[in-house]
Amino acid sequence: MATAGKVIRCKAAVAWEPNKPLVMEEIEVAPPQANEVRIKIVATGVCHTDLYHLFEGMHKDGFPVVLGHEGAGIVESVGTGVTEFQPGDKVIPLFISQCRECRFCKSPKTNQCVKGWAADRYDVMALEETRLTCKGKKLLQFLGTSTFSEYTVLNQIAVAKIDPAAPLDKVCLLGCGVCTGFGAAVNTAKVEAGSTCAVFGLGAVGLAAVMGCKAAGAQRIIAVDINPEKFEKAKVFGATEFVNPKDHSRPISQVLAEMTDGGVDFSLECVGNVGVMRSALESCVKGWGVSVLVGWTDLQDFAARPIQLIAGRTWKGTLFGGFKGKDGVPEMVKAYLDKKVKLDEFITHNMTLDQVNDAVKLMKNGQWCLILSGDKVDLLERREHFQDPVLSCFQP
Ligand code: NAD
Ligand code: ZN
């Protein structure tokens, strides 16, 4: 390729500081170093976690940064020592790497590779050894990925090769939200056939969790959201019943207990609100109920009465739905191509990278917003927005 070994100048949306609009800039993307892969990003989703970093997190040192971590693209060139990838391969960047060598990669029990760029950076959530610069300043790579750019560079342990037949403007959703929700149900909760499940929060992550519960053979899937507009969409993914906490004066756990003879078998919190996390736990049946934290927050502690666990409930969490990226993402791409999982139904808008601030605004205002595709990066929008913590369905 003509660009191999050279610095690439391209467009990227740069977050210079927190709480400010992203700025379209021409940036320089360095050639990949040893074990690295330079990728032309073709499509990317906008995930709540990008906005969390921009507006909600406390990481003032996490700027300037190029956000975006739910992307798909084509390998442009590779550094020395890379044998797994070649220019032209279709790939999905991974915010949780899979080195296949560390203690965690060797265990089937977790996906938390110890060598990952983002593995020990939950506090900053950005990679300092960046290959991106703008106006002489280094730009941090959010979660090591930075998909709001026409080109990015990742270590090969954080890249998944996918089927060449995969449409990148759809499968980019497997880079975060859809794998997270689906895997939370299938891999982490290990939802059982014939069971009753409750999914709290029906954004992309929650809808994917509903889809995972259905794939696992759940008999009843109760979808819980304070926005009734979400219910129609949840039905498409397999929800059988709907509960709006705003329709009830009692705690939602009581409502669910009455509907299910004492509580659900599995509950999944896909909001990122500590009050809802507690509600989801308390909605599980004693004896064997399993509740999974999927929603993201590190700003607050959560609380629960010990008796909830003493009585036999299990409380656990999931990162990226427990998928080991290099193994799991190509399998999910195949499941999409085989029509076993849905992706198109998540997408409501296609936008270009230039419109990224419109996408961010739509997400903030709770509008449907989605992603990008095309020869320049397009923004695929997804229903993403900030929940109002005051609207927690659990009143402590
Ligand atoms: P989203 O904002 O699109 O969806 C959240 C949904 O929750 C909305 O439909 C909203 O109406 C609903 N909601 C808000 N308050 C509620 C309440 N009190 N009760 C019931 N429903 C309520 O978000 P998303 O992109 O689907 O992401 C969901 C969460 O998952 C976020 O916190 C995100 O950061 C997190 N996340 C976690 C991982 C992980 O690896 N664990 C990965 C990706 C995203
Ligand atoms: Zn590893």
- What is the per-residue pLDDT across 225-270, written as a single tens digit (0 to 9) for each? 999 999 999 999 999 999 999 999 999 999 999 999 999 999 999 9
Cα distances (Å, whole numbers) of residue 12 to 8, 152, 378: 12, 10, 11
User: What DSSP state is assigned to residue 156?
Assistant: G
Atom 23 of ligand 1 has which residue's CA nearest to it? 203
In 3D space, the residue among 106, 107, 144, 149 whose CA is nearest the CA of residue 122 turns out to be 144
Distance 295 CA to ligand 1 centre (A): 5
pLDDT by 10s per residue, the chain, length 396: 689 999 999 999 999 999 999 999 999 999 999 999 999 999 999 988 888 888 887 677 889 999 999 999 999 999 999 999 999 999 999 999 999 999 999 999 999 998 876 555 554 467 778 999 999 999 999 989 999 999 999 999 999 999 999 999 999 999 999 999 999 999 999 999 999 999 999 999 999 999 999 999 999 999 999 999 999 999 999 999 999 999 999 999 999 999 999 999 999 999 999 999 999 999 999 999 999 999 988 778 999 999 999 999 999 999 999 999 999 999 999 999 999 999 999 987 899 999 999 998 887 776 433 454 433 344 443 333 333 222 222 221
Helix 204-215 vs helix 230-237: angle between axes, to the nearest 10 degrees?
A: 30
DSSP, residue by residue, 326-357: HHHHHHHHHHHHTTSS--GGG--EEEEGGGHH
**How is the chain split into domains, by residue range?**
8-175+348-372, 181-319
pLDDT at 106: 97
Q: Which two tokens stand for residue 126?
A: 């950005």
CATH for the stretch 181-319: 3.40.50.720
Q: Ligand 1: residues within 6 Å at CB?
A: 47-49, 52, 176-177, 180, 200-206, 224-227, 230, 245, 270-273, 276, 294-296, 318-320, 383-385, 387, 391-393
Distance 101 CA to ligand 2 centre (A): 5
7-59 pLDDT, tens digit per residue, is: 999 999 999 999 999 999 999 999 999 999 999 999 999 988 888 888 887 67
- Other Cβ atoms less than 10 A from the Cβ of 132: the count is 25
Please say whether the beta carbons of 293 and 316 come within 8 A: yes
pLDDT at 60: 74
Q: Which two tokens stand for residue 162?
A: 């996918």
pLDDT at 80: 97
Helix residue spans in 48-158 (DSSP H): 48-51, 103-106
Strands (E), 30-150: 36-45, 65-66, 70-78, 90-93, 126-134, 137-142
Atom 25 of ligand 1 has which residue's CA nearest to it? 48
What is the Cα–Cα distance from 189 to 267, expressed in whole angstroms? 8
What is the Cα–Cα distance from 287 to 246, expressed in whole angstroms? 29
Domain 8-175+348-372 belongs in CATH node 3.90.180.10: yes
Please say whether the beta carbons of 118 and 200 come within 8 A: no
Q: Which two tokens stand for residue 181?
A: 């929700």
Distance 156 CA to ligand 2 centre (A): 12
Q: Which ligand is nearest to the CA of 274?
A: 1
Report, in this order, helix, strand and coil percent for the chain, each rounded to 5.
30, 25, 45
Mark 306-331 as b/e (b = at least 16 C-beta within 10 Å): eebeeeebebeebbbbbbbbbebbbe
Helix 274-282 vs helix 252-259: angle between axes, to the nearest 10 degrees?
A: 30
Is the fold of 8-175+348-372 the same as that of 181-319?
A: no
Distance 224 CA to ligand 1 centre (A): 11
Helix residue spans in the chain (DSSP H): 48-51, 103-106, 168-171, 177-183, 204-215, 230-237, 252-259, 274-282, 306-310, 325-337, 356-364
What is the Cα–Cα distance from 130 to 394, expressed in whole angstroms? 42
Strands across the sheet with 290-293, in order? 241-243, 220-224, 196-200, 266-269, 290-293, 314-317
In 3D space, the residue among 70, 59, 47 whose CA is nearest the CA of residue 18 turns out to be 59
What is the Cα–Cα distance from 168 to 350, expressed in whole angstroms? 13
pLDDT at 179: 97
Round to the nearest angstrom and report the end-to-end CA distance of the chain: 60
What is the Cα–Cα distance from 63 to 229, expressed in whole angstroms? 35
